[in-house]
Amino acid sequence: MASPKGKVFVLTGPSGVGKGTIVERLFKKVNNIYLSVSATTREKREGEKEGINYFFKSKEEFKKMVDDNEFLEWAEFAGDFYGTPKFYVNNYLSCGKDVLLEIELQGAKQIKQKCPDAILIFLAPPTFEALEERLIKRQTESVEKVKVRLKKAKEEMKEIKLFHYLVINDKLDEAVENVISIILSERCRIKQETQN
């Protein structure tokens, strides 16, 4: 029996909803799943490392990768570009390893089209006010960028129907366990449903 191909899991949600924290905790508890490292043109934040958090690219380098069809998905968000390099994901999938993509909504839509078997999870805040408070508290961006992210978050919340699962990040431990449960149950699924 041939080794099964890995599965693609997509975790999406508004900026500041806690995707990174959930991913960090998830990887301490779930085996045989790997985080896809995205390429980005945004500035490196304190503590971030090349090839671990992101592949940091200039806008020229990123555009060349787009022209060379090197991305599984890519999008512009808040003035910066983000994309998932194909080679990185395909290497894991071909070895039977699952891959988690922590990406923005535009990218998730592209993955849904290109990888119909991908499992899409939307992470939402308990309230919009809670999200605003989280974005302001983390102090990683200017007030103008926070406003852009909040406006975008309102638009993203309207797209929940495109996803297979919704997880509310009200209590962190519970949200982490919910995401883990989704991954484990999808690994046990016998038949994938075809979607239009």
Domain boundaries, the chain: 8-188
Of 117, 149, 127, nearest to 42 (Cα)? 149
Q: Is the pLDDT of residue 196 over 50?
A: no
Q: So what's the pLDDT on residue 158?
A: 87
Phi, psi dihedrals of residue 84, rounded to the nearest 5°: -105, 110
Residues 105, 115: Cα–Cα separation, whole Å: 15
Residues 3, 98: Cα–Cα separation, whole Å: 13
Token pair 């990887």: residue: 27
Taking residues 85-114, report their average pLDDT: 91
Q: So what's the pLDDT on residue 109?
A: 92
pLDDT tens for residues 18-29?
A: 898 999 999 999
Residue 129's pLDDT band (boundaries 50, 70, 90)?
confident
Of 68, 42, 64, 66, nearest to 55 (Cα)? 42
Report the topology of domain 8-188: Rossmann fold (3.40.50)
Through-space distance between the first and last CA atoms of the chain, rounded to whole angstroms = 30
pLDDT tens for residues 134-180?
A: 777 776 777 787 778 788 888 888 889 999 999 999 999 999 999 99
pTM above 0.75, yes or no: yes
pLDDT tens for residues 42-82?
A: 999 889 999 888 999 999 999 999 999 999 999 887 789 99
Using an 8 Å Cβ cutoff, are 84 and 74 in contact?
yes
